[in-house]
Amino acid sequence: MDFQRLVLFVIFSMSGVFLFQAWQKENAPPKPVAPITAPAATTDKKADVPTAPAAGSNAATAPAGAVPGATAPAVAPAAAPAGEVLTVKTDLFTAKINTIGGVIEEVALNEDKDAADKSKPYYVLLKNKDRTHVAQSGFNTTGFANHYSPYSKVSGSSEMGTANSLEIRLSAPIASGGKTDLVYTFKRGSYIVDVAHEVTNGGAAAVSPVAYFQLQRDSKVTGTENGMVGIFHGPVAYSEQDKYKKIDYKDLEKGKKNLYPQNVDNGWIGMVEHYFVDAWLPKAGMKRENYALKVDGADNYLAGLKTAVGDIAPGATAKINVPLYMGPQEQDALKAAAPGLELVVDYGMFNFVAAPMFWLLKWFHSFVGNWGWAIILLTILIKAVFYPLNAAAGRSMGKMKLVGPKLKEIQTKYADDRVKLNQAMMELYKKEKINPLGGCLPILIQMPVFIALYWVLMAAVELRHAPWIGWIHDLSGPDPLFILPVLYGLTAFAQAKLQPPAPGMDPMQQKIMQYMPVAFAAMFFFFPAGLVLYWTVSNILQIGQQWQINKMLEREQAAVVAAGKR
């Protein structure tokens, strides 16, 4: 039975880790926002890139670095001219595009709300004094438009209305003649925006531009809530060869190499945060060079790709298109968007358990339409699957209670001889067909489920702000009235009363073990309500099962005694 105490110790220790995470969220001082310092208008030494245009110059003819070795365009300086901001409204979000560079500076999601103020939308992209997270594109070739260049608006309406798609077209001249059109195509019911550059060569010679598509953001942690610690924020990349790669900001600061797939013809690259992701999704077969770096002189990081458009003859037009996903980490939408994009949902080291658990939850949700009831149905299913094992463990625990008087006799008889005491106890267990470790099995079974469900509730955006009933408005957050933790404490205490104490345990230890679950309930004040709901329902089912087993064993014992008297 020492093993049972060890298991309980592991449970409470891991729960303490979760509690410390919640405490960090509630009590840690707010992270200061790093000032956005504009870099000098010179070529980044880590990358041969376009430089910022001088005041009064034609941005379309701003000098650019050579293509070989080029990594990414630099960040626009604070002195860049202000452009017109176009507001684009779709059925899923509202976006703002600046005519300077055609930069997407803001994306407000209609269905996902801000954690601090649920009357406001969540901004998956945003540029203001406190935050920088934008999408940029252009050409890394001399004389072509980049994300500093002034564009003129060509298309008309900026609202999708009842249409199935909406096109926003911007245009800028090429220094040698001709034009480049930046075309955004928004689609109904989709977080994917097609970002295309159409190049019309009006010069006398062929041109071979290289296009880039990048995301720029600061290192400020955004989207994290409900005490979740350890969710990755920053650049990520995926390819068939190297699979999913997380690119740590610190590694980029140190200039580490081979952090992600670079020269590939498949996969995607983007930026990830808790619950949300934005990623460039070039089509398979398009050769590209991925890049990720820290911008000198600013708390800004870039993640993107560059790809050759190809030779464009005089008078000809060529087009390069790279879709951009900007939205929540909804797993069905991610899977449909690109292979491997669903891997951005961060279940940590318990993905092998959490992923199928979420699938089951989603399946139940498709029937009941409520994530709270889906959690209850999942709990019942888990109990049903492991019923034979739980029943066997319950019988061992019930028998332990029935042979309590015999155990006390043995303990009294061999009080001074530990070896004989253990031998006599093992003989009794064998005779009565009792597994002394049987009570640990239900605990061990629930541990991976408990931990995996914690990560599902914390990482799955589908459960973010998901209500259950009455006072539970967010299953991924703590119970605001502490009703579920109190119910858990009551059920845990009742369950402990049904279980016999470990043989040889002194009365003080018995009291501690009996009341420990009640103390454990206090920790649940900080836990996600969905997790407390699961554990409470599990306790109720376990109590009913153990009570039924105890009554059955009592009847069997009475029958044996009655048979012996005949």
DSSP assignments along 390-445, one per residue: HHHHHHHHHHHHHTHHHHHHHHHHTTT-HHHHHHHHHHHHHHHT--TTTTHHHHHH
Q: What is the pLDDT of residue 48?
A: 42
How is residue 472 written in tokens? 């539970």
Taking the C-alpha atoms of residue 202 and residue 204, their distance in angstroms, rounded to an integer, is 7
- Give 373-398 pLDDT, tens digit per residue: 999 999 999 888 887 776 766 666 66
429 pLDDT tier (thresholds 50, 70, 90):
confident
How is residue 558 written in tokens? 């009475």
CA 489 to chain centre: 30
In the chain, the percentage of residues whose pLDDT exceeds 70 is 74
Average pLDDT, stretch 40-55?
Answer: 40
141 pLDDT tier (thresholds 50, 70, 90):
very high
Domains, the chain, ordered by start: 2-22+353-565 (no CATH), 31-346 (2.70.98.90)
CA distances from 227 to 230, 331, 460, 513, 523 (A): 10, 22, 14, 28, 13
The candidate with the shortest Cα–Cα distance to 391, out of 434, 449, 436, 442, is 442
Q: Tokens 């060869």: give the residue.
A: 241
Query: What pTM value is reported for the model?
Result: 0.79
Select the more confidently predicted residue: 157 or 181: 181
- Give 249-292 pLDDT, tens digit per residue: 999 998 888 888 899 999 999 999 999 999 999 999 999 999 99
How is residue 133 written in tokens? 């997270």
Q: What is the pLDDT of residue 564?
A: 64
Q: What is the pLDDT of residue 421?
A: 76
Taking the C-alpha atoms of residue 161 and residue 210, their distance in angstroms, rounded to an integer, is 35
Q: What is the pLDDT of residue 406?
A: 74
- Give 202-252 pLDDT, tens digit per residue: 999 999 999 999 999 999 888 666 554 567 899 999 999 999 999 999 999
- Give 528-557 pLDDT, tens digit per residue: 899 899 989 988 998 888 787 777 767 766
Write out the H or E segment, with its range, that includes residue 496: helix 483-498
- Give 506-517 pLDDT, tens digit per residue: 566 666 666 677
DSSP assignments along 33-44, one per residue: PPP-PPPPSS--
Q: Tokens 């249409």: give the residue.
A: 163
